[in-house]
Structure 1
Amino acid sequence: MSKIKQLKVTFLGTGTSTGVPMITSTHPVAFSNDPKDKRLRSSIMISWDETTYIIDSGPDFRQQMIRENVQSINGILFTHEHSDHIAGFDDIRPYSFRMGEVPIYLTNRVLRALEKRYDYIFATENRYPSAAKVKSHIISKDSILDFEGVKVIPVEVMHGNLPVLGFRFNNIAYLTDIKTITPEEKEKLKNLDTLIVTGLRKEVHSTHFNIEEALEFIESLNPKKAYLTHISELLGFHEEVEKELPKNVFLAYDGLSFTSE
């Protein structure tokens, strides 16, 4: 029996769709001097050995890759097609220059959205010479992926009325933009070491967990450890909020990393 690989997770961004601070904001968090209160759009990197996968390529993708000095990637998994999760897609070009086709893993619906927004990348005739090249792999909530010995299971959650995918890598799960989940999909999240999940703000939101809902969800799954991400400035100051959390729950912040047990 092969040994389970130790995974490293890096939070590339932990902010909501506007980032933190938000343009024009007068909220006190917008003026914080704590770097943990500066949040790029949500994304994570999962790596092991010489392998690196990214979940989502939002508008801050270029900045995130430079900050973490990511020299190569093995692919990108997409949760859904909203701008804060795909708007940096064109910035995969340097990886394409180096490796050729960049593998992407996504649903048919998300692929159609990318094809519409980035038609020049998917063009089959009269391609722009320096456009990125991609290799599309269509996945669904029923897929089971094997990435160099790491088992990856898509988990469907509802972002309001929109189905989106989270992902379980071995015993680490990443669920962003979640408001509800079916019992069948929740079964995929048993026996987690680490759960990463949206905790947008204190007030109820129509398409995202607020912090109360996130904490109830975490308690129901009972992972060894949990991190909250996709955070709005309305949640409050990082240092103050984290003091109020259960002992096994933490606020993620940009640049934070951890390794699986």
Structure 2
Amino acid sequence: PVTSSEPTTPLVSRNGDGDQPIGADQHSLDQSIPHQNQPTQSNSTTDYPFLTSHFSNRATLFNTRRSQSTATTSTKMAGSLKVGDTIPSGTFSYIPYTPELSSPTVCGNAIDLKSDQWKGKKIVLFGVPACSANHLPAYIKKADELKSKGISGIYCIASNDAFVMSGWGRLLGSNEHVEMISDSTLKWLEEAGLTVDLTAHGLGKRGTRFALVIDDLKVTYVGIEESPGSVSVSGVDAVLPKL
């Protein structure tokens, strides 16, 4: 048989830490590099810093630059509605709830709602600058309790269009409990002094977070949050004792 005259020294890997014969410690190599059929498991969001950053930014959306937000809100509050005021006249847009809207494929038709329709009625109107896990759901949960105290209508208002408001409300189950109304031009909210500039947070100008009790078009309770990310004086538990 033909034999090779080349040396039989094993191939080596030069990795800067000395010469390591290839195959000399294959077990260590196997343990250090995960196989495709052996996925690694993350035990912490620190393994994904972009996720940590994303949720951290979301969680502190209204808490960052607190002094700036408070100053903006204080400036806005100077012209806000107060107890005893007659609310501005305005026209809103909304999609009345019907059983057909329980299907996510049904859109509904937006119609006008004029503030004059509240004449002779006692209603609760609360506003949101963005979604909230604590604000709207609590009003939905305690809608019957509010109505047992003489409230004939509960309305959630924001600068989103009527279709977004309807979809959001249906997702949370507002249905016949809370009407989701839109002031997409901010006309009424600005006249009422209930807007806040969140441009510093990438959200632009919006309605702030507040609650009003309105009796025959006159304000009997005002709760405007110092920080639009908080729910205290505008929450249902603050409104109920005032009825």
TM-score by length of 1: 0.29
Which protein is richer in helix relative to its size? 2
Whichever of the two has the greater Rg, that structure is 2
